[in-house]
A and B are shown apart, each in its own frame.
Chain A
């Protein structure tokens, strides 16, 4: 007996299907089959994850995937999801595991914030006619101008990351995503003049050439971390936390640690790669400072050090500590941020929205007079250029995108990355599947996406009559809330529409 009824139905239009069996070959979940005797296509929809690979590949558009209309008796409290999760756990005794970002119906503040534009006075700028500056520098701003005895300026600028636009691809490890996905991200980052991030899986030898556009991550497992690695990138990011699973470590199962990943992570093949929940050399801000400065020492103070934290309840106090730890850049990851695998309960109910976290952190650092000591980078579901613009107006220096980047590579958000059978060649290490993602085409799509966003940014900037992104950072007067309570407006530091 199986109490779990398949979530999806695979509908094949028999008038269109030419039995080419392409769907059968393309579905790594082995949903489609062919009955040699009856000469018909068969399917086992219980294995379908709704990733649309077969739908996209079918030459006659004979396929569609629909949500089953098989239902439980309607119940607003005990929803189908709540019930089936109980069945699953009663069956297996296991921890519910999921991937990608929090899909629950929590408020999305970006959608309740509106951007201003100029009218009549202070006229808009036409971005086609006038140059718009979206170049962004991340790092500490020197507190004062210094001169030598002769009165010449002393270059006291701490190391910076230079970005052509205020976007970076956030951390995804080689292991959680494929070689080709990394290749696409690295190539796109170079072409765009931005950065991608190695995640905690080390840096593959083939990608050292993209160093100037690479952020190398140091996480609790210290996988692949050695002196060449630390010096290879444009900056070093210490990962303290991740929005999808604050307070939780990582586990790349032994089965995914093949030869190539073993070399990159610098661990033996077919062993578990476990990242402990905390860095066990960091139990305090003082300890964090010691790690930050060890990395600066290891790279002769030439690389900015970033510290990534998850947006949790007291994020502003934590960020204040991080700013004092010597970090050059703070990265905050909101609770809608993606993941290759996380316990469902943690992903869906731990952490806070990035919009509120960002507003609170920016305000706190300003109040304490240390905002210029650090740049702020936020991620955790930036879905489009207006989310990006709103983040900058709330106080971010730049944004991290990951889910959006994977979507550009073909991800269909089926949220089963943890199985390692991604039909789009992204969250998988299976050679036949990885091959499906062409790094050149992938890079082109990423370049298209980010370039389009940059154009949109310029249009919005022009609309506001401001020609430099720097001048917009933290300019909350350009924002208004809609349908928000006074408390929410207070935290966001914005007025309500009409005010």
Chain B
């Protein structure tokens, strides 16, 4: 079913979608309406325009493809499914995400991938073609974040406080030199074969969605951030 959003208020638009049994949902002229795909599990969304806050929040299995940019809290607390963004994405993307995949062709804002976590067969993945803002992957508990650094000219493709409080998962950054100034909770190593093998299928997906050459992308230098087992949360307490 095809909808034209234009100036329809998001609650009305969401009602129309809720009342529609079709698996395929196409929305044209999306002007920042919120919560599209929120808590859905079996839909295929194709969105044209700008997706508002909370796109695919609590997503439980739907595929959401956006031909345009997205605002905040995309894939927040997402459980499974896929979000593909042909554009840039705002802040707090993938917060607390437990499973599913988010692919962003362009840049992502502040606080991306904070407190992502993995569980059993659930493994959250956030792949960003461009750069990321500050606080990337803070409190990371599981899953994989990769920032491919298009437009970063080989410099570190994210801003301050990357990986603060990280205690699980992996952040992969494409940059020519070892990233500096990271918090003590992270260990930095150059990408090894194992990491490359782990990353490859997601880069294949990325190229499938947005074009590009898998081999060429992977031939760049990448650094891998993992939690430092000697730091983190083993803060010493003393009892009353």
Residues of A bordering B, CB below 8 Å: 88-89, 91-99, 218, 220-222, 225-227, 230, 251, 262, 266-268, 271-272, 274, 276, 279-281, 287, 290-291, 293-294, 297-300, 344, 415-416, 418-419
7 CB-based A-B contacts, threshold 8 Å? A280-B115, A290-B72, A297-B38, A298-B38, A298-B39, A299-B39, A416-B240
Contact assessment for B168 and A271 in the assembled complex, using a CB-CB cutoff below 8 Å: yes
| Complex CA distance for A149 and B205, rounded to whole angstroms | 55
Enumerate chain A residues within 8 angstroms of B14, measured Cβ to Cβ.
Answer: 297
Taking a contact as CB atoms closer than 8 A, the residue among A222, A293, A419 that contacts B239 in the complex is A419
| Complex CA distance for A274 and B77, rounded to whole angstroms | 15
Contact assessment for A290 and B54 in the assembled complex, using a CB-CB cutoff below 8 Å: yes
Enumerate chain A residues within 8 angstroms of B235, measured Cβ to Cβ.
Answer: 94-95
CB distance from B90 to the nearest CB of A (A): 11
CB distance from A300 to the nearest CB of B (A): 7
Contact assessment for A227 and B41 in the assembled complex, using a CB-CB cutoff below 8 Å: yes
Contact assessment for A91 and B233 in the assembled complex, using a CB-CB cutoff below 8 Å: no
Closest residue of B by beta carbon distance from A279: B95
Contact assessment for A226 and B98 in the assembled complex, using a CB-CB cutoff below 8 Å: yes
Contact assessment for A227 and B236 in the assembled complex, using a CB-CB cutoff below 8 Å: no
Contact assessment for A281 and B167 in the assembled complex, using a CB-CB cutoff below 8 Å: no
Enumerate chain B residues within 8 angstroms of A88, measured Cβ to Cβ.
Answer: 238-239
Closest residue of A by beta carbon distance from B60: A227
| Complex CA distance for A297 and B73, rounded to whole angstroms | 14
Taking a contact as CB atoms closer than 8 A, the residue among B35, B111, B165, B238 that contacts A274 in the complex is B165
Residues of B bordering A, CB below 8 Å: 14, 18, 34-35, 38-39, 41, 53-54, 57-58, 60, 72-73, 76-77, 79, 92, 95-96, 98, 111, 114-115, 117-120, 122, 135, 138-139, 141-142, 165, 167-168, 232-233, 235-240
Enumerate chain B residues within 8 angstroms of A220, measured Cβ to Cβ.
Answer: 96, 115
Q: Which 3 A-B pairs have the closest CB atoms?
A: A222-B96, A298-B39, A94-B238
Enumerate chain B residues within 8 angstroms of A262, measured Cβ to Cβ.
Answer: 119
Contact assessment for A293 and B238 in the assembled complex, using a CB-CB cutoff below 8 Å: no
Taking a contact as CB atoms closer than 8 A, the residue among A226, A251, A290 that contacts B60 in the complex is A226
| Complex CA distance for A419 and B237, rounded to whole angstroms | 11
| Complex CA distance for A99 and B237, rounded to whole angstroms | 13
Enumerate chain A residues within 8 angstroms of B142, measured Cβ to Cβ.
Answer: 267-268, 271
Closest residue of A by beta carbon distance from B71: A290
Taking a contact as CB atoms closer than 8 A, the residue among A94, A221, A266, A290 that contacts B115 in the complex is A221
Contact assessment for A92 and B233 in the assembled complex, using a CB-CB cutoff below 8 Å: no
Best-buried of A88, A94, A281 by chain B (most CB within 10 Å)? A281
Taking a contact as CB atoms closer than 8 A, the residue among B57, B58, B233 that contacts A272 in the complex is B233
Contact assessment for A281 and B95 in the assembled complex, using a CB-CB cutoff below 8 Å: yes
Contact assessment for B118 and A268 in the assembled complex, using a CB-CB cutoff below 8 Å: yes
Contact assessment for A225 and B96 in the assembled complex, using a CB-CB cutoff below 8 Å: yes
Enumerate chain B residues within 8 angstroms of A268, measured Cβ to Cβ.
Answer: 118-120, 142
Taking a contact as CB atoms closer than 8 A, the residue among A221, A227, A287 that contacts B96 in the complex is A221
Closest residue of A by beta carbon distance from B232: A272
Contact assessment for B79 and A226 in the assembled complex, using a CB-CB cutoff below 8 Å: yes
Contact assessment for B115 and A267 in the assembled complex, using a CB-CB cutoff below 8 Å: no
Contact assessment for A280 and B114 in the assembled complex, using a CB-CB cutoff below 8 Å: yes
Closest residue of A by beta carbon distance from B93: A281
Taking a contact as CB atoms closer than 8 A, the residue among B35, B53, B141 that contacts A267 in the complex is B141
Enumerate chain A residues within 8 angstroms of B95, measured Cβ to Cβ.
Answer: 222, 279-281
Enumerate chain B residues within 8 angstroms of A266, measured Cβ to Cβ.
Answer: 98, 117, 119, 122
Contact assessment for A297 and B141 in the assembled complex, using a CB-CB cutoff below 8 Å: no
Closest residue of B by beta carbon distance from A222: B96
Enumerate chain A residues within 8 angstroms of B92, measured Cβ to Cβ.
Answer: 280-281
Contact assessment for A95 and B237 in the assembled complex, using a CB-CB cutoff below 8 Å: yes
Contact assessment for A274 and B141 in the assembled complex, using a CB-CB cutoff below 8 Å: yes
Contact assessment for B240 and A96 in the assembled complex, using a CB-CB cutoff below 8 Å: yes
Contact assessment for B141 and A415 in the assembled complex, using a CB-CB cutoff below 8 Å: no
Closest residue of A by beta carbon distance from B117: A267
Contact assessment for B141 and A271 in the assembled complex, using a CB-CB cutoff below 8 Å: yes
| Complex CA distance for A274 and B167, rounded to whole angstroms | 9
| Complex CA distance for A268 and B235, rounded to whole angstroms | 21
Enumerate chain B residues within 8 angstroms of A94, measured Cβ to Cβ.
Answer: 235-238
Closest residue of B by beta carbon distance from A301: B11
| Complex CA distance for A226 and B233, rounded to whole angstroms | 26
CB distance from A468 to the nearest CB of B (A): 35
Enumerate chain A residues within 8 angstroms of B72, measured Cβ to Cβ.
Answer: 281, 287, 290
Contact assessment for A416 and B141 in the assembled complex, using a CB-CB cutoff below 8 Å: no
Contact assessment for B115 and A222 in the assembled complex, using a CB-CB cutoff below 8 Å: yes
Contact assessment for B239 and A276 in the assembled complex, using a CB-CB cutoff below 8 Å: no
Contact assessment for B41 and A97 in the assembled complex, using a CB-CB cutoff below 8 Å: no
Enumerate chain A residues within 8 angstroms of B135, measured Cβ to Cβ.
Answer: 280
Best-buried of B34, B57, B72 by chain A (most CB within 10 Å)? B57
| Complex CA distance for A290 and B72, rounded to whole angstroms | 10
Closest residue of A by beta carbon distance from B164: A276
